[in-house]
Amino acid sequence: MKIAVLQIDIDFENPENNRRKVSEMIDKASAGYPDVILMPEMWNTSFNFETIDDNSDKKGQPSMNLLSEKASKYRVNIVAGSISDKKNNKIYNRSYVINRDGAVIFTYDKIHLVHHANEDKYIEAGNYIDIFELDGVKCGIIICYDLRFPEISRTLALKGAEVIFAPVQWFKSRLDHYEVLCKARALENQVYIVSANRIGKEFKAVFPGHSMVVGPWANILGRMDDREGVLHCEIDLKLIHRIRKKVTCYQDRRPDLYQL
């Protein structure tokens, strides 16, 4: 599976500008003929809660129209990071998955909201965990803060996920955490973690990029620096089965003794 990860700066006052930039980046990424394109968390509005109600998409529009057209044009799957999306007067940190035909085949709402950053005061938490398939490959999504909760990644892995996509907005001050958590989630679940972070500044926060693809041995297969661009990486899905046959973590589990 060929992956393209979009790493961008986000203008929290201008969703139209963000859509224009994403459109241009998808054009650029598609020149490498990827199977899947991933973008960062909340790329349409970011986290300016003062304007998020006015600037959010409405049931995925207009962002999903744009991405559906791109997916169909380039015959590429798009894991649309996440957007702020308004439905029934509630705002969600929502990810959409679009297949090569331009059809939305899956949505996921961020489950773990950052209470100490007041995210829960403006955004409605999701309440489901499931997987989806891209070209026959079982995949899952977690969003940013979800990385800190191993239960969700393990649940996805037990459901059969081989690739877990992780769009984030991760601070520079916690960049070490970002790398460790991506590696840990990949290693403990014997899956690929594909993560897109943003760059730039927002209020006092600095975002360093360093989007990455981590293999099931916790090895970093590709990583960006702190500039806008596209990370191209090809992953070997057969490796997962070889590793799971060699290191039998799934067979050796003792769920009868675990307490949640």
pTM of the complete model beyond 0.85: yes
Query: Which pLDDT tens digit goes with each residue over 6-54?
Result: 999 999 889 999 999 999 999 999 999 999 999 999 999 999 888 899 9
Rounded alpha-carbon distances, angstroms, from residue 56 to 50, 62, 85, 144, 199: 11, 10, 5, 19, 20
CA 118 centroid distance within chain: 21
Sign for the pseudo-dihedral over CA of 225, 227, 232, 235: positive
CATH topology of domain 2-246: Nitrilase/N-carbamoyl-D-aminoacid amidohydrolase (3.60.110)
Other CB atoms closer than 10 Å to residue 127's CB: what's the count? 7
59 phi, psi to nearest 5 deg: 50, 40
Taking 3-state DSSP, the helix, strand and coil percentages for the chain, each rounded to the nearest 5, stand at: 30, 30, 40
Percent of the chain residues topping a pLDDT of 70: 100
Query: Which pLDDT tens digit goes with each residue over 201-255?
Result: 988 899 999 999 999 999 999 999 999 999 999 999 999 999 999 999 999 999 9
DSSP, res 208: E
Is the pLDDT reported for residue 128 higher than 90?
yes
Domain spans of the chain, in order of start: 2-246
CB 56 within 8 A of CB 63: no
Average pLDDT (96-106) is 98
Q: Are strands 229-234 and 2-7 parallel, antiparallel or unpaired?
A: antiparallel
Rounded alpha-carbon distances, angstroms, from residue 158 to 98, 152, 191, 245: 23, 10, 11, 15
CB 104 within 8 A of CB 64: yes
State the catalytic residues.
41, 110, 144
